[in-house]
Structure 1
């Protein structure tokens, strides 16, 4: 879709709408040039219309075949590729992300959408369970009990700033909600509204092509927080998915819990993703660790939720060698343009706060233009970290603090002081893992993903992936926001007791007509 076709309107089902005179514009982060066209702020009437359409289409959509939903997702994937260079060009103009990154992100988005289609078509994701009744059981007959996951209703999705393709309008939240049979109303991110509109139109076209009700997808624009809160407050909203700051996620969470009927908010928020370097790893590969650490820290100008913002390195000569190597790689790292001025301003203030902290030394800072973010490394020791807990707060961008530790007990104390994290990383030898089990056990209570001899940036989209963690990494540590298991956020279990076989969903009927994996009397099987 050529950029000239972007209209700056809401997409409400199959219709464009612009009833609010208030508008905003996107800007190029690299040049600050204003990008056409202006975008209309969603009005309260438009919000209500989108949610009402979603609610009216929910029953029909939830009862569509899995094959139809799979074809919808495949049509979205095809549309993302058919959009060609126009989509990437607009996304680059609104985010300053390099073209090779956007090409890779689109490939990830397309691949994960097709993966979800395969999962839906196979069908075992509904977690069907059957416990046969026994009328002769004594002292009381046993009822026939069967259960499976069903869709929960309209989902509000907030697009993320740092992944304009993979965690935005056509990202995991939208595709897993659609896969579950839930209508989606997406709140476009105001930093890349044109990209959002282009993708929104791709989804609308896919909905039409598969013959589904137009109301199962709408896209609303808006800079004001009120648009988001109104969506969360709407009585038709059944769940919310959000990726962003702790403040933003918590505000939506609180709004959802003030409703007469509270709803779940699945918010992926803040994390510093600590890295613990054990002595054996330094002896084996200090230079490789330093190079890979800076590569992870500066990936995407540090604008990843899995960015390693804290690294613990032992004191002593070997640790000194690693610190020096990290400083050298940091000084040589290229600066980069951040996604928008708000993120850049927050990063600049955060670096200044760390620099001014008593007992913290700014070890290395790459050189670059003032309007760009430069890789920054600070260093301190365990005693200062104990006193200055602000060093354990997330700073979104290419900045990390080195903490020098004296012994294993200090590492454990740091682990215990952490808030919930998406990830934690250990670098060491196999034998060192056996020596540091108390540290590993402490970290297991704090994170969603524990990494050995790697770095947290780069998330494999697969069935076993967990992208989540205890609060404030996420608002609910029971779920992942990446990978096929993310569909569970938009479902709930429903139990049928003593229902006639012919009136049960196909997934629970005795003959197992869909051939899915089920638990029957406690045993997993695909048999009838």
Structure 2
């Protein structure tokens, strides 16, 4: 089946064209024209979402769970077509996209099962104590309630799992919040067909049509209109530090500030401790090279920095990593803009005196090849730019003279999504010194693994202190993501027959 996008926005059940269009820039295949979103489209979608909230936000959990299940089924029914258009637009291989589609439908179903259990409501009860002295205590019940319409920004690097029906959308819908999605211009056709799947689920589930809207957006004006709309009550975003910070600031400056749940940037440092480096340094180096270059390095959990004790074992590690990366050929990047940004990031490293090039390879057009550099911990701590994310397969080795220098270096990192400890049993004392530091710096700490690949589960945290994300207490992956779009409400002495059903005795 050949899918030809119609290029329209989905607003409250209707496909709506715009007065102006933009043309997609696929990695292969035919470019298509798409309607350019406007503030008027945003207003219509937000108004519909607010109207839908008064029904959708108060539906039984069973109905919302069935809706999430229906979305997953409708996406699977369009699986081959989604893969076809996504391959053309992004250059990602079929196997990667099929895996990502499975992750997308899997998290929709996981959230459905989770809300059926009711644990996310965090229900609490203080019984009345009418005879308490000197004052009686009233009966108080507490439960989490949905906050209202949520804006979601599609991500460039995950056209399915972090985009139209991805984790932000799924968790907001699970919480009871209607969603307005700004599609990413890198894969508008993929976004459109996933929006069609959600519309089909709306129609079969009977939820209000304003529960979901999808707006194509080529420039920042649509995003700015969305985060500033007074009916939008929270924002989910995955993207660049500069773009996310600009939207975060707009949310904070609104007459009614709203939470901005942005995942922005991370270099995800790996710390290879002495015994592990001595015993299996080359094997760790091979694994790091594979993780660093996976998917052209276009993962938010890409381990861009590795920290090593200086010495001969570090020399062997670097030589092995170089050899492995030399074998990686040019890989297609998601957009021309991302490829250009990668080249600028490489230039930033190659022009610094404190950085020694280990492997430099030219990247042309929309492709990227790996690059590897090294520096000392002292030089790294004196140059803030060395800790900034380069989105792509660029690695930096930092050599430290001793254990205390490794701890001091860890303290110097900004907030990250992940940190990894490669350790053997004899490294435990040093690991115990690092752990409290890393707990303050990251959302997920790994041992003897690589951070690319994020499990969707109850215990997962995908977030971290700024600039990894804008809200250190939240996650964009896993069932705890639902809590971003809820707020607690206490009910004091309300009659049982008017209490919400989920909190009645």
Q: State the TM-score, normalized to the length of structure 1.
A: 0.93
Residue 84 (str. 1) matches residue 79 (str. 2) = yes
In structure 2, the partner of 1:307 is 302
**SS state at 2:427 partner:** helix
Native 8 Å contact 1:408 1:436 kept in 2: no
In structure 1, the partner of 2:185 is 190
In structure 2, the partner of 1:19 is 18
1:353 aligned to 348, 352, 365, which one?
A: 348
**SS state at 2:306 partner:** strand
In structure 2, the partner of 1:373 is 368
What are the equivalent positions in structure 2 for 1:332-351 lying under 5 Å apart? 332-351=327-346
Residue 130 (str. 1) matches residue 125 (str. 2) = yes
Inter-CA distance 253–369: structure 2 relative to 1 (3 Å threshold):
closer
In structure 2, the partner of 1:517 is none
Displacement of 1:355: 0.9
Native 8 Å contact 1:278 1:432 kept in 2: yes
- 2:67 and 2:409 map into 1 onto residues whose CA distance is 47
**SS state at 1:445 partner:** helix
2:170 aligned to 171, 175, 178, which one?
A: 175
Displacement of 1:436: 3.7
Inter-CA distance 500–241: structure 2 relative to 1 (3 Å threshold):
same
- 1:178 and 1:387 map into 2 onto residues whose CA distance is 45
- 1:316 and 1:78 map into 2 onto residues whose CA distance is 55
Displacement of 1:323: 1.2
Native 8 Å contact 1:156 1:232 kept in 2: yes
CA displacement, residues 160-203 of structure 1 (integer Å, 9 cap, x when unaligned): 00000000001010011111110000000011000000001110
Native 8 Å contact 2:346 2:394 kept in 1: yes
- 2:234 and 2:223 map into 1 onto residues whose CA distance is 13
In structure 1, the partner of 2:31 is 35
2:266 aligned to 252, 268, 271, which one?
A: 271
In structure 1, the partner of 2:96 is 101
Which blocks of at least 5 consecutive residues in structure 2 are unaligned? none
CA displacement, residues 201-224 of structure 1 (integer Å, 9 cap, x when unaligned): 110110111011101100001111
Displacement of 1:367: 7.0
- 1:117 and 1:454 map into 2 onto residues whose CA distance is 30
**SS state at 2:332 partner:** coil
Displacement of 1:319: 1.4
Native 8 Å contact 2:71 2:198 kept in 1: yes
- 2:420 and 2:258 map into 1 onto residues whose CA distance is 33
Inter-CA distance 371–479: structure 2 relative to 1 (3 Å threshold):
closer
Native 8 Å contact 1:333 1:366 kept in 2: no
Native 8 Å contact 2:336 2:365 kept in 1: no
- 2:94 and 2:140 map into 1 onto residues whose CA distance is 53
1:217 aligned to 212, 215, 233, which one?
A: 212
- 1:368 and 1:144 map into 2 onto residues whose CA distance is 66
Native 8 Å contact 2:52 2:208 kept in 1: yes
Residue 285 (str. 1) matches residue 280 (str. 2) = yes
Displacement of 1:387: 2.5
Native 8 Å contact 1:187 1:221 kept in 2: yes
Inter-CA distance 185–2: structure 2 relative to 1 (3 Å threshold):
farther
Displacement of 1:287: 2.3
CA displacement, residues 225-283 of structure 1 (integer Å, 9 cap, x when unaligned): 01000011111101000000111111111111111111111000011101111111122
In structure 1, the partner of 2:48 is 53
What is the number of equivalent residue pairs in this alignment? 505
Range moving further from structure 2, 135-144 or 429-438: 429-438
Displacement of 1:138: 1.0
Which blocks of at least 5 consecutive residues in structure 1 are unaligned? 511-528
- 1:430 and 1:83 map into 2 onto residues whose CA distance is 49
Displacement of 1:371: 4.0
CA displacement, residues 115-136 of structure 1 (integer Å, 9 cap, x when unaligned): 1111122222111001111101
Native 8 Å contact 2:291 2:452 kept in 1: yes
In structure 1, the partner of 2:200 is 205
Displacement of 1:34: 4.8
- 2:250 and 2:124 map into 1 onto residues whose CA distance is 35
Displacement of 1:386: 2.6
Native 8 Å contact 1:290 1:325 kept in 2: yes
Displacement of 1:57: 0.9
- 2:79 and 2:453 map into 1 onto residues whose CA distance is 24
Displacement of 1:65: 1.0
**SS state at 2:331 partner:** coil
- 1:204 and 1:507 map into 2 onto residues whose CA distance is 28
1:453 aligned to 433, 448, 451, which one?
A: 448
CA displacement, residues 64-85 of structure 1 (integer Å, 9 cap, x when unaligned): 1111111111111001110031
Residue 157 (str. 1) matches residue 156 (str. 2) = no
Displacement of 1:503: 2.1
